[in-house]
Structure 1
Amino acid sequence: MEHTKWKTLYRAGAVAPVIAWALYLSQFIILIFCDPYPTTIEGWFALLQHNKLLGLWYLNALDIVSFALLGVMFLALYMALRRVHPSWILIALYFALLGVAVFIVPRVLTLAIVPLSDLHAVAITDAQRAVYLTAGETLSNVSTATPQTTGFLFMTVAGLIFSVVILRSQSFGRAVGYTGIAGFVLTLANYISWIVAPSIASLLMPINGLLWLLWWIMISVSLFKIAKSTSDQETNFTDY
């Protein structure tokens, strides 16, 4: 019965990666069919003043939601696997939540460009507009991709540990573990290749990205099954 207390978390953890996957898909579609990505702070201000919703989409505001949801998935994974290998699963959870936090923070900082754009739009003098442009440039430099990439690295380490432990669990299929191992090892290889062979990195990125998405869906299915089994156990206990 102790396991059944966490069925709500299992369900939430199962739904979370599906929503995250849908959000990523929507961002991908918009990037294909909408206007080109701004390359200057003036371009960002112009986009936000013309179409704030699209600007927020391009600023990857949905990533904040997506990665927060993935945090829920990792919590559910921890609860489902904590008895298989408590120490390693706790380490994995630490890196997962650290990765989520490190990834989200620069995204949130980037959103400060939105009010700067509003101030720039109503500025009266060139000097005022220059101040807001400088602030936007500074903000853009502070919220670079480096901390976001570091967040991915932490989550890669976490996912690899989770996947290895999954191979020892009866609640998840071995295919889930092997898919995760393949995806996260390729991600680590991608990090290394960016340093030694950037041309290879561009080839690895879409492959490990697809494996990540596939792993999310497989985890979702597994957590749904665990939630259902705990509900069945609870029903049987009540009937008894």
Structure 2
Amino acid sequence: MIQGLQINFRPLYRVAHFLALAMLVIIPMQIIIFVMAPPPDTVKGLFELYQQNPFLGLLSLDFLYLFNNVIVCIIYFALFTLLFHERPVVVLLAMMLGLIGVACYYPSNPAFEMLTLSNQYAQALPDQQMVYLAAGEALMAGYTGTAFNVYYVLSTICLLLFAYTVMKSPQFKKSVGLWGLASGFFMIVPSSAGTLGMIFSLLSLIPWVVFVALLMNNFRRFAANTEKHVF
């Protein structure tokens, strides 16, 4: 086992800084799209939207989240490298749960499957279209089903653990971690839990944006630091 290994993570912090900035652009885009073009509440409506505007159809099924979760993983990995020597067990658990959660999310997202079914639905004869509608209903049931809820719960625990560690770390101001904890608090109710879940999900975005913005500034500071981290 290698001990006392010095590693230069400055490039990682630089990448995390720019990706945090990208996330601060993506989140308002997601909100604007949701407000200006609410997703249809029926499978048939989604199929028709895909035929009218395939890209908007993808966006209606959280296409941007496919990128968003990659960014989250890199941000958390940057935090992991910063905090490992302070609270190794906590950040190991946080990183592991976060990665499992994200791995659960991707199979739950049916954006491209619905695009395929939409094309097949449009080409099918009227008496055959029910088959594709039923397939779409099955996909949408999984969209906020077990895999999604596992992703949401594990991601919440991951955020709370990282936010707690940030709050206790001398490398960060306490307020940074408190914003993360506030976001995690509102994520306790999954977004799939009806109207209440949707409200809590939207409320969680406010402290989350502040948390990411503060992390972005800290990553820029760490990227400029010439000190290497020891593992």
TM-score bracket, normalised by the shorter chain, equals: 0.7 to 0.9
Corresponding position of 1:96: 98
Match of 2:57 in 1: 55
CA distance in 2, matches of 1:59, 1:209: 18
* Equivalent in the alignment of 2:149: 149
TM-score, normalised with respect to structure 2:
0.86
The aligned counterpart of 1:237 is none
Could you say which residue in structure 1 is the equivalent of 2:28? 25
Q: Secondary structure at the match of 1:61?
A: coil
For residues 12 and 226 of structure 1, the distance between their equivalents in structure 2, rounded to whole angstroms, comes to 11
In the alignment, is the contact (CA less than 8 A) between 2:187 and 2:204 conserved in 1?
A: yes
State the identity %: 25
Indicate how the Cα distance of structure 1 residues 223 and 98 shifts in structure 2: closer, same or farther if over 3 A, else same: same
Match of 2:178 in 1: 178
Aligned in 2, Cα 1:63/1:203: closer, same or farther, shift over 3 Å? closer
Give the number of the structure whose residues are more often helix, by fraction. 1
**Equivalent residue of 1:25, what SS?**
helix
Name the counterpart of 1:216. Answer: 212
**Which residue identity does 2:75 align to in structure 1?**
M
Q: 1:24 to 1:88 in 2, by over 3 A?
A: same
User: Cα distance 1:17–1:105, how it changes in 2: closer, same or farther (>3 A)?
Assistant: farther
Q: Which amino acid aligns with 2:13?
A: Y
Distance 1:133 1:98, change over 3 A: same
Partner residue, 2:121 = 120
CA distance in structure 2 between the aligned counterparts of 1:55 and 1:15, rounded to whole angstroms: 28
Q: Using the alignment, how far apart are the partners of 2:46 and 2:198 within structure 1?
A: 26
Q: How much does 1:151 deviate?
A: 1.4
What's the offset of the Cα at 1:105?
A: 2.3
1:9 aligns with 2:5: no
- Residue 209 of structure 2 aligns to a residue whose secondary structure is helix
Deviations 1:110-159 (A, max 9, x none): 42010111111222x22332222222122222322553233122122111
CA RMSD of aligned residues (A): 2.4
Larger C-alpha radius of gyration, 1 or 2?
1
Is the Cα–Cα contact under 8 Å of residues 183 and 212 in structure 1 kept in the other structure?
yes
How far the C-alpha of 1:204 sits from its partner, in A, is 4.3
For structure 2, list consecutive stretches of 5 or more residues without a partner in the other structure: none
Stretches of structure 1 that go unaligned for 5 or more consecutive residues are 235-240
Aligned partner of residue 96 in structure 1, secondary structure: helix
Shift in Å at residue 2 of structure 1?
6.2
